Amino acid sequence: MNPYNNTNPFGTGPDYFESFQAKLGGRIEAYEELKTEAPLLSSIPKYNPFEVPAHYFDELPTLIQEKCAAPEKVSAFEWLKMLFRPNFAVPVLTVILIAFAGIRYLDHGTEVSSPMAEEISVEEQLQSIDETTIIEALASASVNESEADNENENIKEYLLDNHIEDINLNSEL
C-alpha cells in the first residue's frame, strides 16, 4: 500500500484556475488598501539588493583554484597578532598552567618531610664542612659574647662615673 495516495504532490489542485482570479483580486485590493493606509511604506522602491556582478560565475572557478593552489605566507607580525587572540591564547596558557602545576606537584612529591630526614640532612651537611671551619665559627661566637659582656661593663662604668642612679635612669626611660 502506498501511504501517499498516488497523487502528485506538486499538482495545482482541482479548482486552482477557477479561484485564481479571485485570489489575485484579493491581493490587489490588499495592496491598494496598504497604499492608502501607509503611503510612506508603499513609496519605498522595490528592488533586489542581492545582485551578482557581471561575469562572476565565469571567473569564480579560476579564483577558487588560485586561492587553493597559492600557499599563504605568514609574517612574524601575523604570529604576534595570533598570540593575542583568545581562541589561540587561552588553550596555550591552559597547557602552560597545567604543565607548571604538574611540575610543582612532582617536585613536592619527591621531598621527604619527616623530622628524621631533616636530622640526617643536617648531619650530612656537618660532615661535608671542614673541622677547622666549625672551630673558627665557635671561636668567633665566643669572642662576640665576650665583646658584648665587655660593652655592658663599659656602660656600667660610665653610669657610675657620671653618678647616675638606677632610679633616675628608670624614670627617664
Q: Nearest 5 degrees, angle CA 66-CA 67-CA 72? A: 120
Tens of pLDDT, residues 70-117: 777 778 888 778 778 888 888 888 999 999 999 988 887 665 555 555
Residue 14 lies in a domain: no
* Residue owning grid cell 661566637: 141
Measured CA to CA in angstroms, residue 134 lies from 122, 141, 142, 143, 149 at distances of 14, 11, 13, 14, 23
Tell me what pLDDT residue 10 has.
Answer: 80
**134 pLDDT exceeds 90?**
no
Average pLDDT score over residue span 131-144: 77
Residue 4 scores a pLDDT above 60:
no
Query: 167 lies in which domain range?
Result: 116-172
> Does residue 109 sit within a domain?
no
Is residue 5 one of the residues assigned to a domain? no
* Residue 83 domain flag: no
With respect to residue 142, please indicate whether it lies within any of the assigned structural domains.
yes
Put simply, whether the predicted model's pTM sits higher than 0.75 gets the answer: no
pLDDT surpasses 60 at 33: yes
**Residue count (the chain):** 173
The total number of structural domains in the chain stands at: 1
* pLDDT at res. 22: 92
